[in-house]
Chain A
Amino acid sequence: MSWIPVVRIEELKPGSVRSVELGDERILVCPISADQVYAVENCCSHDGGVLGEGRIDGTVVECPRHGGRFDVTDGRAVRMPAVASIATFATRLTESGWLEIDIEDD
């Protein structure tokens, strides 16, 4: 487990997602509000493609390809054709203004 800074907080805009790559890990950073930021695997469990710059509505992100939807707070699939959850990552905001993500070590 290690906390890795990924993006400056001022670069995040609530309601608009941002994809980052950390090593082999593709991550989707989802700012819900100014102080609530979630991070999920940037990979649709339906077909393995990236969720990419898909839309986010409340806490639900929609896959741009087939419309599968996931709740980013817990990774749950909430609309077909997606049925399996996606992984979530713990996040924290540091005093120095970074968003950090907790990544499992290999």
Chain B
Amino acid sequence: METADHFSSLQDEYREKYGFSYPEQSTAKTPKGLNHAIVAQIAEHKNEIQWMREFRHAALDTFLSKPIPKWGNQEILQSINFDDIHYYIKPTDEQGRSWAEVPQNIKETFEKLGIPEAERKFLAGVSAQYDSEVVYHSMKKKLEQQGVVFLGMDDGLREYPELVKQHFGTVIPPTDNKFAALNSAVWSGGSFVYVPPNTEVTVPLQAYFRINSKDMGQFERTLIIADEGSKVHYIEGCTAPIYATDSLHSAVVELIAMKGATIRYTTIQNWSTNVLNLVTKRAVAHEDAVVEWVDGNLGSKLTMKYPCVYLVGERAHGEVLSVALAGNGQHQDTGAKMIHAAPNTTSRIISKSISTGKGRASYRGLVKAHRGAVGCKTHVECDALLIDETSRSDTYPTMEIDERQVQVEHEARVSKLADDQLFYLQSRGIGLEQAKLMVVNGFIEPFVRELPMEYAVELNRLVALEMEGSVG
């Protein structure tokens, strides 16, 4: 197939697959703007228990008292109009209990998202989000038998109030930052996962998120608790239709890996280019625990996301593996944080970014070694690839070291597409565009190979589409 045809067919598929929007069918929607009355209304809709209502109101006060961060993309951050956003939309009255009960138009949404029929049946549990509420949820029998809890966050709160109360907001308190406070006040949807001790969840838990209302803000809240010696892999993928005005997405994800537990959290995000994606993701790793964030960021107008691991138990290990692709006019402000607060903890950050057109990719990271974290080791590697003359890459890593017996290493490289590689590929009869794509694919290969097959395929398609603008 000709390269150009190849790209245009992908583009059609893309529009078909992601670039659409059904009319809203909301039965409950709060007015635009944010105040205590709105927060009370959200809690009332959900018929929430008292402590969560108090938590929301306190968080709103925190949100209102905190200034917008003074770092990052000021132009965009300062332009957010918090009064022009709906903070809650409930799509249907009833929570879908089985596939048959899921409303038809939402089923169509899944069709468009391209979840194959077979996969739907096979998937361990699909927690698909349409606007602010979990509407469809299926749990595989095996998970139930294992005692694994995989619910929408709202259901989790209803069914496991004590467990949620014990952990909710402990990793990311509302006071942490303005957007965490915002999420804490108006959160809706997201996932709640509990894995019992010494239990291995062999199939990845998957959730599909989706924004589908004009000017709609989404504030998912996810809490994953992996009890001692357990193991779980959670995957979230995002696609979004294209809208005319900005859409704010501000999720909070808290992970708790108890002694000896392993959590891998994989994200492939492809927001439409009007979305502001301002996310707080943080994990706590206790003794001998392992937490891995695998994070792919595509699309959006501005993404600010720095997955973090607090290594609080001896020998805990944290890892962030991320790829950011900043297309024309996009700003991917992403990175990672590793906080070493116990002896012999280890961490690794591998960050790769690609900027095309007037895209800007910024790496922002923190490695901290507290006093007493003797024998801790950390290694950070940032690689940036600049495709066009107008592309931009920034690297802002911070290392705060309060302990002598540590090994801290940081490396960063910025380069353009290597001429010699392109020349070689062209000499083998490969067109320039295709050659560029091949080099880029090679660049992100260490990331892609960590993904489940279907995500790897999808990511490669998305990269090709993003590249089309710059190489076409």
- A interface SS class: loop
* 0 or 1 for each of B169-193: is its CB under 8 Å from A? (1 = yes): 0111111110000000000000000
Which of chain A's residues 50-106 have a Cβ closer than 8 Å to chain B?
A: 62, 65-67, 79-81, 83-84
Report the nearest B residue to A69, measured CB to CB: B173
In the complex the two chains form, is B173's CB within 8 Å of A84's CB? no
Q: Which of A45, A79, A83 contacts B173 (CB 8 A)?
A: A79
The distance in angstroms between the C-alpha atoms of A66 and B172, with both chains bound, is 10
In the complex the two chains form, is A83's CB within 8 Å of B339's CB? yes
The distance in angstroms between the C-alpha atoms of A68 and B170, with both chains bound, is 10
In the complex the two chains form, is B175's CB within 8 Å of A67's CB? yes
**Contact status of A67 and B341, CB under 8 A, knowing A45-B370, A83-B310:** no
Most chain A beta-carbon neighbours within 10 Å: one of B175, B176, B341, B372: B175
**Does B364 sit within 8 A of A, measured CB to CB?**
no
* 0 or 1 for each of B144-175: is its CB under 8 Å from A? (1 = yes): 00000000000000000000000000111111
* Complex interface: chain B residues within 8 A of A81 (CB): 172-173, 176, 282, 310
Count chain A residues whose beta carbon lies closer than 8 angstroms to a beta carbon of B.
10
**Does B312 sit within 8 A of A, measured CB to CB?**
yes
**Does B284 sit within 8 A of A, measured CB to CB?**
yes
The distance in angstroms between the C-alpha atoms of A26 and B370, with both chains bound, is 19
* Complex interface: chain A residues within 8 A of B284 (CB): 80
**Does B371 sit within 8 A of A, measured CB to CB?**
yes
* Complex interface: chain B residues within 8 A of A79 (CB): 170, 173
Count chain B residues whose beta carbon lies closer than 8 angstroms to a beta carbon of A.
18
Query: Closest CB-CB distance, B62 to chain A, in whole Å?
Result: 8
In the complex the two chains form, is B370's CB within 8 Å of A67's CB? no
Query: Closest CB-CB distance, B285 to chain A, in whole Å?
Result: 11
* Complex interface: chain B residues within 8 A of A67 (CB): 62, 173-176
The distance in angstroms between the C-alpha atoms of A66 and B174, with both chains bound, is 8
Which of chain B's residues 324-353 have a Cβ closer than 8 Å to chain A?
A: 339, 341
The distance in angstroms between the C-alpha atoms of A62 and B310, with both chains bound, is 19
In the complex the two chains form, is A84's CB within 8 Å of B176's CB? no
In the complex the two chains form, is B174's CB within 8 Å of A83's CB? no
* Complex interface: chain A residues within 8 A of B175 (CB): 62, 65-67
In the complex the two chains form, is A66's CB within 8 Å of B177's CB? yes
**Contact status of A84 and B341, CB under 8 A, knowing A45-B370, A66-B176, A67-B176:** yes
In the complex the two chains form, is B370's CB within 8 Å of A80's CB? no
The distance in angstroms between the C-alpha atoms of A62 and B371, with both chains bound, is 21
* Complex interface: chain A residues within 8 A of B171 (CB): 80
Which of chain B's residues 213-243 have a Cβ closer than 8 Å to chain A?
A: none
Binding site for B on A (CB under 8 A): 45, 62, 65-67, 79-81, 83-84
Show 13 residue pairs from A and B whose CB-CB distance is below 8 angstroms, ordered by the A residue.
A65-B175, A67-B62, A67-B174, A67-B175, A79-B173, A80-B170, A80-B171, A80-B173, A80-B284, A81-B173, A81-B176, A81-B282, A84-B341
Binding site for A on B (CB under 8 A): 62, 170-177, 282, 284, 310, 312, 339, 341, 370-372
Given contacts A66-B176, A83-B339, 10 further A-B contacts (CB under 8 A): A62-B175, A67-B62, A67-B173, A67-B176, A80-B170, A80-B172, A80-B310, A81-B173, A81-B310, A83-B312
